[in-house]
Structure 1
Amino acid sequence: MKMMMKMLVLVLVLSGVLSVSADSQHEDLAITGCSDSDGEAMYALDGEEKWYADFIKQRGVEPQPDFIDHGSYPDPGAYQQAVANQQICRGNLKNSRKFNKDMPLEKDPPSSLVIYPRDDVELGEKNHLLCHVTGFYPAPVKVYWTKNGENVTEGTSINVPFPNKDGSFNQISRLEFIPQLGDMYSCTVKHLALKQPLTRIWDVEVKQPSIGPAVFCGLGLTVGLLGVAAGTFFLIKGNECS
């Protein structure tokens, strides 16, 4: 019943297109979503977000790095079409509220929150911290970053909510940073179903090469050489006495 309620709201508020090619086995997903104060338009290929509409900055965004082939999507009118679809979506949302006015809103808190660096940490080298939150419903979540206890907004970004197979959502927030030893970062998530925000902490650590085996081998070699030297000394002394 829980899953059916989620899917009912999802179908009415979000319109998605899913296609699978038998020849190349690729999966496309297009989502249009809206609320009274927010909207979403996103295109994904094989589970990777390729394009989304930023209705605040009024432009389309391709979140993939520059070195990745972005292909021919989207077409030049994709953002304008996304804006037009928002009007249709809000009309559908208004009708769905009338139809489901007595149905309580299903709310699920995030089931998982993790924070980790995108690349191996090297002091002084630019990197990204990722805060991945999943299992929540409805979307979206709000994510806040801190560095050494101070709020950070510069260099932060967040993708649009991405649907999971069970009807819940996941989102990833990113923080661009330069690792310095001793710095501590935190990612805090707020959601309608949470009584208290969730926070995860990450501090800068650099892996040091292990010296245990080298010391052990060096010590063994030293003891071996001492044994040979001692044996040679007693052998010479023995010959002198005979």
Structure 2
Amino acid sequence: MERKPCSRGAQLGLWACLWGAAAVASLQEEPLPLFSQVFFCQRDSPFFGLAQVLDGDQLFWFDFPSACWQSRLPDFQPEVPSRMPLGNVSTQQELCQRLLAIFTNLSEEQLPEAKGIPQVDVFIRHPLELGKANTLICSVSNLFPPSAVITWAQNGEPVTQGVSTAPVSPVGGLKFELFSYLEVTPRKGDVYSCSVRTPGDEHNGLAYWVPNDPVPSDFLETLACGAAIAVGILFVLLGSILIAKSHMSQRTE
């Protein structure tokens, strides 16, 4: 029996079906938001940590000294039923301490200690204006175990005033991140540094930040106006050339 080729309409219908199936498959493959709760204990400070995270972004963390939940963003309400009750937190603390002692005795001097190499970066929160108050942010990523001491310095001198450090935050796997903030008034010639030391390490992670001269806003406005005028003149010239060529071709004909 002779087979007839598919009509163009049938081919289009087949392609539409395949495209629709691919679109449904791609929608099904999109990852769903991942909400996780991370509890840890260790021999170095902070000795305990508890956080609730959505897609790697910390939403809430438990303040163990104050025995209460805290929210990373002020608009969030930490004291709601979805937070772990205080009684359960105490139970988790005891269990974690017991497991830590057991695994420490089993692995000490037999297994190498897992460690991450902290990556340190310093950046400014708001656009730089020399002589105006701003905030420097020291970001520490790839932190494991989740323990580190951050120190700030200005022109080589230690700085302790205007410093605040957030609790460590889990970001997935065995990685944590840490942020420290320094209130500053940048001036020309200043050199700021953020130093990170982890337990047992002889060398610090270090990052510097130097205020570069910002471009004055009035200069940017003048530059933008000049560029706009130049573009306008260019279009006028192109239009005049096209009109002249059109007239020349009409005369030739």
**What do residues 152-182 of structure 1 show as CA deviations (whole Å, max 9, x unaligned)?**
25431123142444x333222222x142323
More helix, by proportion: 2
**What do residues 66-112 of structure 1 show as CA deviations (whole Å, max 9, x unaligned)?**
3xx415764476455333311111111122223334222223322x2
**What do residues 36-72 of structure 1 show as CA deviations (whole Å, max 9, x unaligned)?**
35111111112211111222344322122x3xx4157
In structure 2, C-alpha distance between the alignment counterparts of 1:72 and 1:41, rounded to whole Å: 13
Equivalent pairs, count: 192
User: Which residue does 1:91 correspond to in 2?
Assistant: 98
Q: Return the TM-score normalized by structure 1.
A: 0.64
Largest Rg, 1 or 2: 2
Name stretches of at least 5 consecutive residues in structure 1 with no aligned partner.
1-21, 222-242
Name stretches of at least 5 consecutive residues in structure 2 with no aligned partner.
1-28, 231-253
Matched, 1:184 2:222: no
Query: Which of 204, 207, 212 lines up with 1:200 in the alignment?
Result: 207
In structure 2, C-alpha distance between the alignment counterparts of 1:24 and 1:73, rounded to whole Å: 29
Query: Which of 151, 162, 169 lines up with 2:170 in the alignment?
Result: 162
User: Which residue does 1:109 correspond to in 2?
Assistant: 117
Query: Which of 68, 90, 97 lines up with 1:59 in the alignment?
Result: 68
Query: Which of 175, 178, 194 lines up with 1:171 in the alignment?
Result: 178
In structure 1, C-alpha distance between the alignment counterparts of 2:67 and 2:127, rounded to whole Å: 34
Residue type at the aligned position of 1:70 = F
Deviation at 1:116, TM superposition (A): 0.5
Q: Percent same amino acid at aligned positions?
A: 19
Query: Which of 54, 57, 63 lines up with 1:45 in the alignment?
Result: 54
Q: Return the TM-score normalized by structure 2.
A: 0.62
RMSD between superposed Cα atoms in Å: 3.5
Query: Which of 33, 41, 50 lines up with 2:40 in the alignment?
Result: 33
Q: In 2, are the aligned partners of 1:109 and 1:193 still within 8 Å (CA)?
A: no
Q: In 2, are the aligned partners of 1:137 and 1:168 still within 8 Å (CA)?
A: yes
